[in-house]
Amino acid sequence: MPTQPPCPSQDLLPRPWQLGQPLGRARWWRWLVSAVVAVLVFWPTPAWAAPGQSDGAQLFQAHCVGCHVGGGNVMRRSKTLKLAALQRNGITSAQAVALIAENGIGRMGGYGSVLGEGGPAAVGAYVWAQAQAGWPKV
């Protein structure tokens, strides 16, 4: 049986890899998907999703660490959360820290409504434990 010669019009049509656009679009999508996957894989874990942290640690990371990073105080250096500074200022328990977290003191406003029910107590317990441990780096 004789074979048919290829249709001459097929030679006039460009192949998809010759057009550039479909391949370019595929490369663009591949790059986009790779970038999204990389961002999702390497994005830092938010404080509320970090495994093994107590509620107090999570709340502290979310609301307090902006001014009190590492137990310090970026606004007033003498008003740190270090044990010696807390005791010097008459703060001698986790409950006292919780009252300050809830109602505020001096220039620091209260965060009771932001921390939610039980939040000030959790933050107070966390801060007091960290102060007693010397604010170890995690």
| CA-based nearest residue to 116, from 71, 36, 62 | 62
* pLDDT tens-place string over residues 72-112: 988 888 889 999 999 999 999 999 999 999 999 988 999 99
62 close to 92: Cβ distance less than 8 angstroms: no
Reading the chain (138 residues) residue by residue, the pLDDT tens digits are 566 666 555 566 666 555 555 556 677 778 788 888 888 777 766 655 544 457 899 999 999 999 999 999 888 888 899 999 999 999 999 999 999 999 999 889 999 999 989 999 999 999 999 999 999 876
At 30 the pLDDT is 82
Top CATH class, 47-132: mainly alpha
At 16 the pLDDT is 58
How many whole angstroms separate alpha carbon 59 and alpha carbon 4?
A: 77
At 111 the pLDDT is 92
Every domain of the chain and the residues it spans: 8-42, 47-132
